[in-house]
């Protein structure tokens, strides 16, 4: 086995080695994947794309998604993975704003893609795979006849993800192109995943169950490619299927979110016992606060292999090992070696230990800007640090604890209430499948606490369940935090990576009122 680091190099050293398993079970060798990426690189050049231009994707997890990424990253292009849950106008906005010159989409999303193409002006080339999309050229046409050799001018590209930040329409997080050799740049990125104890080669298998349009998900998948690990892709995350893939491929690590932990724990005991997950070494999670009880139960089941970090698309963050977390339950850890964390009050002064404030971060390895929005870039800065609006506190040892997103905070009678704390309590109740807590208008208090509950399978919603949950919360929370009312929902509006679209639930209550929703 080669010890080469860098996908393009290792693919040449071990072309016959299986590098990727598609959601349908199709295996692709490193050499085959490199050949596809090379054909795409030549195709982009033939279309006139040069370093600094952009390619957008609206693709499910697939070999083609990885190939487009690898092509962009060796052609000096910005690759913009678009959330395929978005509607046509939302996709059109990102394609136009990012100045993408090529869009590769999947026929599964044909309705939204056609609507997006109808709104995008300028010379943009649209390609489809997985079937025909009216007005789009076939993906096969893009690469047919292109050589599978290295492109003549190789230079590192960059991902360009869109994030909502704290307010307004999504903004592209754009970093300057490094001008480095693509393999040299990718080798540098392995330092990130190395913080979690994951090393090149070493028999690792990465099971990727979340959509590759997410920043961290794509980064972990790319690191797997760079480090010579087998990458196993899921099309749609399912708890039992996740266990099956871990057992079948002897999966060693994955990137997950707390919602997925909750759903794994909800499986019947006989199902959980059916699968061997002893191969796991590094289960890494982020994206939302994890209820302490949920994480304790996962550690009891999977052992001390669960690592957590806090970060943002913009950069910077913290990390906590299983051992550190067990010593300080609920923490998201200490700053990375290349990162700094501050917690400040509304006056911009550093908060004393154990005092909540706005979390600010910065990363020493490079800055970013919101593409074409210098004002927004500067708006959330403080002395070289930036914030995405999260509220948290540092303890006396410098460990960060998160409370909630500032925009989600409830202010009731002048008291700050953090919904995540209440959601974490509700999620420990066996009759709760999922929970969302937010503030709704109240004439006297300003806001009151509302909970929307997705009952667990087989549980009937109604007044009896509301009374049971009220009593359950009252035993564990201060009175002012206990939800004043409950609503029921068949399925919570979450994307496949577990992100909750809370605004969808909140907005009807604020219609015609002064709203704190941002």
b/e burial code for range 452-463 (CB count within 10 A of at least 16 → b)? bbbbeeebebee
What pLDDT score was predicted for residue 514? 45
Helix (H) or strand (E) holding 30, with range, is helix 30-46
Q: What is the mean pLDDT of each run of 10 residues along the chain (518 residues)?
A: 82 96 96 98 97 97 98 98 89 94 97 95 95 96 97 94 65 91 84 87 93 92 94 95 98 91 92 97 86 92 95 84 95 91 93 94 76 72 85 95 80 78 91 93 84 95 96 88 95 79 87 51
- Nearest-CA neighbor of 452 among 512, 406, 514, 508? 508
**What pTM does this model have?**
0.81
Structure token pair of residue 266: 């909800």
Which DSSP symbol is given to 406?
Answer: G
Residue tagged 């995350």 (tokens): 237
What pLDDT score was predicted for residue 342? 95
Yes or no: say if 275 and 228 are a contact pair by the CB < 8 Å rule. Answer: no
- Nearest-CA neighbor of 159 among 96, 100, 87, 230? 100
Residue tagged 């998604």 (tokens): 65
Which DSSP symbol is given to 82?
Answer: P
Instruction: Report CA 313 to chain centroid distance, whole Å.
Output: 9
Put residue 383 in one of left, alpha, beta given phi > 0 → left and psi -120 to 50 → alpha.
Answer: left
Domain boundaries, the chain: 12-174, 205-340+378-406, 409-510
- Nearest-CA neighbor of 23 among 223, 241, 217? 241
CA distance 419 to 446: 16
**Would strands 100-106 and 54-58 be described as parallel, antiparallel, or unpaired?**
parallel
b/e burial code for range 76-113 (CB count within 10 A of at least 16 → b)? bbbbbbbbbbbebebbbbbbbbbbbbbbbbbebbbebb
Put residue 183 in one of left, alpha, beta given phi > 0 → left and psi -120 to 50 → alpha.
Answer: alpha
Three-state secondary-structure class, residue 114: helix
- Helix orientation angle between 419-426 and 292-302, rounded to the nearest 10 degrees: 50
CATH-assigned architecture of domain 12-174: 3-Layer(aba) Sandwich (3.40)
CA distance 384 to 309: 22
CATH topology of domain 409-510: GMP Synthetase; Chain A, domain 3 (3.30.300)
Q: Do domains 12-174 and 409-510 have the same CATH topology?
A: no
What pLDDT score was predicted for residue 515? 43
φ/ψ of residue 428, rounded to 5: -85, -10
Find all residues with CB under 8 Å of 4, minimum gap 6, and list them: 10, 13, 228
CATH superfamily of 205-340+378-406: ANL, N-terminal domain (3.40.50.12780)
């Amino acid at each position: 086995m080669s010890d080469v680091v860098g996908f393009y190099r290792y693919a040449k050293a071990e072309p016959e080695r299986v590098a990727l398993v598609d959601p349908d079970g199709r295996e692709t060798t490193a050499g085959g994947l490199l050949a596809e990426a090379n054909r795409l690189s030549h195709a982009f050049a033939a279309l006139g794309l040069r370093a600094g231009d952009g390619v957008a994707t609206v693709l499910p997890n697939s070999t083609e998604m990885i190939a487009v990424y690898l092509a962009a990253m060796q052609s000096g292009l910005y690759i913009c993975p678009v959330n395929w849950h978005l509607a046509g106008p939302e996709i059109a906005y990102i394609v136009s704003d990012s100045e993408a010159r090529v869009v590769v989409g999947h026929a599964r999303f044909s309705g939204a893609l056609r609507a997006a193409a109808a709104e995008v002006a300028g010379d943009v080339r649209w390609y489809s795979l997985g079937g025909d999309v009216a007005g789009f050229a076939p993906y096969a046409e893009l690469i047919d006849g292109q050589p599978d050799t290295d492109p003549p001018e190789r230079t590192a590209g960059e991902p360009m993800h869109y994030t909502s930040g704290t307010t307004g329409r999504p903004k592209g997080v754009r970093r300057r192109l490094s001008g480095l050799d693509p393999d040299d740049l990718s080798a540098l990125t392995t330092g990130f995943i190395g913080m979690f104890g994951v090393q090149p080669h070493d028999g690792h298998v990465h099971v990727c169950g979340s959509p590759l349009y997410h920043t961290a998900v794509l980064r972990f998948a790319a690191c797997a490619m760079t480090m010579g690990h087998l990458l196993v892709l899921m099309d749609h995350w399912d708890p039992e299927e996740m266990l099956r893939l871990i057992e079948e491929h002897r999966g060693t690590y994955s990137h997950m979110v707390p919602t997925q932990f909750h759903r794994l724990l909800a499986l019947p005991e006989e199902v959980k016992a059916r699968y061997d997950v002893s191969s796991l070494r590094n289960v890494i999670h982020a994206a939302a606060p994890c209820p302490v009880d949920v994480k304790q139960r996962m550690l009891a089941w999977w052992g001390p292999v669960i690592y957590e970090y806090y970060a943002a698309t913009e950069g910077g963050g913290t990390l906590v090992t299983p051992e550190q977390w067990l010593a300080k339950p609920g923490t998201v850890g200490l700053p990375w070696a290349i990162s700094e964390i501050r917690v400040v009050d509304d006056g911009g002064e550093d908060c004393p230990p154990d005092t909540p404030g706005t979390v600010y971060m910065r990363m020493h390895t490079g800055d970013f800007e919101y593409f074409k929005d210098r004002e927004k870039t500067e708006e959330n800065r403080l002395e070289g640090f930036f914030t995405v609006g999260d509220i948290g506190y540092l303890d006396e040892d410098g460990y960060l604890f998160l409370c909630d997103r500032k925009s989600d905070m409830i202010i009731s009678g002048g008291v700050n209430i953090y919904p995540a704390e209440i959601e974490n309590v509700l999620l420990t109740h066996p009759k709760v499948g999922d929970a969302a807590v937010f503030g709704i208008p109240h004439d006297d208090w300003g806001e009151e606490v509302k909970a929307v509950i997705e009952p667990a399978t087989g549980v009937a919603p109604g007044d009896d369940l509301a009374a049971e949950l009220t009593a359950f919360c009252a035993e564990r929370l201060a009175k002012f935090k206990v939800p004043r009312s409950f609503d029921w929902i068949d399925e919570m509006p979450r994307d496949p990576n577990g992100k909750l679209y809370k605004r969808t639930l909140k907005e009807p209550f604020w219609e015609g009122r002064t709203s704190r929703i941002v």
